Amino acid sequence: MKRYLLIFSLLFTLSCTSVEHGNWVYSGQVTHRSQLQLSSPDQLINDWVYLQTPPDPTEIVFPTLADPSFSESIIPESDTFSAEDSDIAQTPEIRPDSIDNFVIETVEDPNLDLGVETAVIQRPAPPDPTEQMVFAHYMAWFRTPEETGRWLHWSWDPDGDGGLDPEDRLPYVTGEDGLADLATAHYPLIGPYDSSDPHLIEYHIASAWASGLNGFVVDWYGPKDDGGVDRATQRLALQIKQWRRQYQLPFFVALAYEEQILFKVDESKRVERFIEHMTYLLETYASQDGYLTYEGLPVVFYFEMWHDGEPGLLSPQELEMAFEQLPEFHFLYMGAETEYLDAIDGFFTWIGGTNQDQNDWGADYSNWIFPEQDYQSSQHQYALTVGSVWAGFDDSAVQGWDPSGLAVPRLIDRQKGDVFAKTWESALQDLNNHQRVGPSWIQVVTWNDWNEGSEIEPSLEYGRYYLEQTQQFTELYTGEQFVPEALSIPEAIYLYRKRVPEAELNQLFETVYVLFFQKEFEQAIDLLVRSGVFLDQ
């Protein structure tokens, strides 16, 4: 099928006035909707206005912070910072301009008639994993001073000299555009955030579900890691579990074990440490409602580390030794490395392309993925393999993750959304043509790896374009339908909570989410508008 036939327009009409939502062009230039003169009350705020193809970031007009008086110190009173951080306390807080352009009014009537029963909806239990599912790889490693007392992964200062090197990125430094200097290829639409923030977790889960995704595969660095990934991941898993019970949310979580955490472990103790980590993972996460399973067994992804030109810190024999001492589970290795094929239960794929040509988006790799799944599944009787789609890649903001600066950053140009469409085209063709036994599962690479520029999470550069495209492609893949306006609901709630943290609107938001997860998006938006949470300006 031609790619342009895969891209179709979704229109959504609110009750007050018939307004077409979708592509906006203003004076031939892409701009923020808050800068347009909109009169209809149902034209929702905080949307980046964009064409059917995503805008050229160089043409976007970034508004400056609208309310400088709203600034406050980003550093709590504590003694947990090193000498390099001593100058941060005088730095004003970095507020994403999308918050300051968001029109907020508090609810005057605390007894506002919500117009809907607030009881938990009564529906069947959330379904088990199905034959066609789409997940997104998820990074839970972002930290901010407000939530956990430090910046982490938003900054890049490998030698700790406080920004003396031109390639350093310091998020407490504000540019002329009013935005923080982040170590990212693009700028989050909601601004820098902390992965352990409960409100952020709600926003991510709800937005992913409204994009047509079926769950997150979380990049995991072991029990109680120094970076707080385990803590944030537990919060994410618990929120999914809670919403599955409260709203019968059909959403899952799985973990991707990062083998690199074994690198500093003595070689003679790596198997033992791996067993400890997997035991913790299976007991802490896989036993919970909402953890991804297949045929009753938990699914664990394994991101191997390449060292000295060879894949894997643990050999196939060492993995098999560990499996003998662990409960049964599905173990998916990253890539179809020949020497590991007999030791694993299946594999998942990642991103193609090369370092030398930004227009090499990985066509050869994309065309290899699904036939390879068919072939290896037949050769090794794999029950499960997971393919991949991607939008692009750019790790130049972190020097290709090489502090020495010797590495060549990898760049896959997004080609105005064409890369995402082409990789999805391969996945959709496989849906009808695959020969292997087992489900058709896809992983979007990634939801929010901002450091490597592969994210589909909304950004200032691309707005919600990639989530709306995800809606369209997942509908073709799974049959689940969503409308673009659904994405504005969790975004509005998150931004309101950041702007008015003292507001006590939990009952309202719970009611909104009842409607939201029933796909009553028009009613949910109406409630937010009537309560003053979600207003046009």
Q: Give me the chain's average pLDDT, please.
A: 79
241 versus 408: the higher-pLDDT residue is 241
Q: What is the mean pLDDT of residues 480-506?
A: 93
| Mean pLDDT across 286-300 | 96
81 contacts 88 by C-beta, under 8 angstroms: yes
Yes or no: say if 116 and 513 are a contact pair by the CB < 8 Å rule. no
Asked if pLDDT for residue 10 goes beyond 70, the answer is no
Q: How far is it, in rounded angstroms, from Cα 122 to Cα 466?
A: 32
* CB-side neighbour CA atoms (13 Å) of 166: 1
Name the residue type at position 496: Y
Residues 246 and 510: their CA atoms lie apart, in Å, by 10
CATH 3.20.20.80 domain residues, the chain: 132-141+195-480
Average pLDDT over residues 494-505: 90
Indicate whether 331 pLDDT > 50.
Answer: yes
Give the torsion through C-alpha atoms of 242, 245, 246, 252, to 10 deg.
60
Is 90 exceeded by the pLDDT of residue 319?
yes
Give the containing element (helix H, strand E) for 280.
helix 270-284
Which pLDDT band, with edges at 50, 70 and 90, does 166 fall under? Answer: confident
pTM for this predicted structure? 0.79
Q: With a cut of 80, say whether residue 326 has pLDDT above it.
A: yes
Alpha-carbon Rg for the chain, nearest whole angstrom, is 23
pLDDT at 144: 96
Kindly tell me if the per-residue pLDDT of 189 is higher than 50: yes
Of residues 41 and 265, the one with the higher pLDDT is 265
Q: Please check the confidence at residue 5 and state whether its pLDDT lies above 90.
A: no
High-pLDDT (> 90) share of the chain, %:
61
Identify which has the larger pLDDT, 33 or 478. 478
Average pLDDT (151-157) is 94
Contact, 174 vs 415, CB < 8 A? no
Which of the residue ranges 109-113, 467-471, 484-488 would you say has the lowest mean pLDDT? 109-113
Query: Would you call 254 helix, strand, or coil by DSSP?
Result: strand
Instruction: Look at residue 168 and tell me whether its pLDDT is greater than 70.
Output: yes
pLDDT digits (tens, 9 = 90+) for 69-81: 322 222 222 322 2
Mean pLDDT of 373-386: 94
Mean pLDDT (whole number) for 27-35: 30
pLDDT at residue 419, as a whole number:
96
Q: Which of 401, 418, 419, 422 is nearest to 410 (CA)?
A: 401
pLDDT band for position 183 (50/70/90)?
very high
- pLDDT beyond 90 at 244: yes
- Quick one: which of 207, 209, 205, 199 has its CA closest to 218? 205
399 vs 47, higher pLDDT: 399
Higher confidence at residue 188 or residue 84?
188
Question: 207-237 burial string, b = 16+ CB within 10 Å, else e?
Answer: bbbbbbbbbbbbbbbbeebebbbbebbbbbb
| Residues found in the chain | 537
Mean pLDDT, rounded, for 394-415: 90
Q: Return the minimum-mean-pLDDT range out of 302-306, 449-453, 532-536.
A: 532-536
Mean pLDDT of 347-373: 88
pLDDT of 140 above 90: yes
Handedness of CA 98, 242, 386, 220 (dihedral sign): positive
**Fold type of domain 132-141+195-480:** TIM Barrel (3.20.20)
